[in-house]
């Protein structure tokens, strides 16, 4: 173990901040992020860039670990990614080894989950057992979870958020009380609004209210609307397909 790594291991295993100080740090990081980001300007932001994750890393590393995470990287690269397709986990952290044997690290954050959550009428989402009144709170708590993964990878070469060591670190540094992400997911949102595959729904399309039946739910809902110009389906009728964000659907009763 190098001296940079053992310094981080020491800090990670021993440091304990008072709960109030943790909350103050997290709030100060939020203020700094909203002030300095070129993309993320409000608590329920609509744009984010990998640079914002880089900024979060620097802010968290300074506030909680005195910059020891960056030092423990020892020049190895840490890349940040926004993943639009990941729909289950809030994020992932990986240790990558190139063919030439070069080690790098990568933190990915699932932006689809962030942007799907926090629409009006959603129940309050939580991450790590912490309530997230706004999108930036969720981003921070997901990032904290991924940062603990990175720290474990740097210190011990492996990381597991269902194991005791991870949960103890996540709790002591960030007050996480659970290791599951409980963000509102698309299918959950659809269920909460009473919409599922087979539901009759209505929505507005080009200023016209149309009704149809939900055929599929992925990133959006596929709604089949009867239309003489549409394609013929197995029931002998013709339908046109509409791809509609779930939040724009209303159950038809």
Q: Give the β-pairing of 208-217 and 200-205.
A: antiparallel
In the complex, the smallest distance separating the C-beta of residue 110 from Zn ion, rounded to whole angstroms, is: 12
CA of 168: how far to CAs of 126, 142, 152, 161, in Å?
Answer: 19, 16, 12, 10
Q: Which is nearer to Zn ion, 26 or 147 (CB)?
A: 147
- The answer to whether 141 and 183 have CB atoms below 8 angstroms apart is no
What is the layout of strands, in order, in the sheet containing 181-182?
130-132, 125-127, 181-182
Q: Which residue has the tokens 């949960």?
A: 167
Q: Which is nearer to Zn ion, 90 or 212 (CB)?
A: 90
Q: Which is nearer to Zn ion, 125 or 195 (CB)?
A: 125
Q: Which is nearer to Zn ion, 132 or 161 (CB)?
A: 161
- How many residues sit close enough to Zn ion to count as binding (CB under 5 A)? 1
170 binds Zn ion (CB under 5 A): no
Site string for Zn ion, 44-83 (x = CB under 5 A): ----------------------------------------
C-alpha span between 174 and 172 (Å, rounded): 6
Region binding Zn ion by CB under 5 A among candidate stretches 60-68, 118-126, 128-136, 154-162: 154-162
Region binding Zn ion by CB under 5 A among candidate stretches 42-50, 157-165, 207-215, 225-233: 157-165
Among 125, 161, 217, 249, binds Zn ion (CB under 5 A): 161
Q: Which is nearer to Zn ion, 111 or 148 (CB)?
A: 148
Q: Where do the H-state alpha helices sit in 37-105?
A: 50-65, 68-73
The residues that bridge with 217 in the sheet, in sequence order, are 221
Token reading at 101: 């044997």
């Amino acid at each position: 173990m190098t001296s940079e790594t053992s310094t981080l291991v020491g800090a990670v295993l021993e440091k304990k901040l008072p709960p109030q100080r943790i909350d103050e740090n997290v709030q100060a990081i939020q203020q700094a992020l909203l002030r300095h980001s070129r993309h993320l300007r409000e608590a329920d932001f609509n744009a984010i860039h990998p640079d914002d994750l880089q900024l979060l890393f620097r802010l968290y590393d300074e506030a909680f670990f005195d910059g020891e995470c960056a030092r423990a990287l020892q020049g190895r690269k840490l890349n940040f990614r926004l993943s639009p397709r990941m729909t289950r986990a809030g994020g992932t952290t990986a240790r990558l080894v190139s063919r030439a044997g070069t080690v790098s690290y990568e933190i990915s954050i699932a932006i689809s989950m962030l942007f799907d959550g926090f629409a009006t009428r959603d129940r309050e989402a939580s991450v790590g057992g912490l309530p997230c009144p706004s999108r930036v709170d969720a981003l921070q708590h997901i990032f904290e979870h991924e940062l603990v993964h990175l720290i474990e990878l740097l210190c011990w070469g492996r990381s597991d958020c269902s194991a005791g060591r991870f949960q103890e670190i996540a709790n002591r540094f960030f007050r996480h009380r659970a290791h599951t992400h409980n963000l509102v997911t698309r299918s959950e949102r659809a269920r909460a609004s009473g919409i599922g595959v087979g539901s009759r729904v209505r929505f507005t399309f080009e200023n016209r209210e149309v009704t149809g039946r939900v055929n599929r739910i992925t990133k959006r809902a596929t709604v089949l609307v009867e239309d003489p110009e549409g394609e013929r389906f197995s029931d002998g009728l013709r339908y046109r397909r509409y791809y509609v964000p779930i939040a724009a659907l209303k159950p038809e009763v």
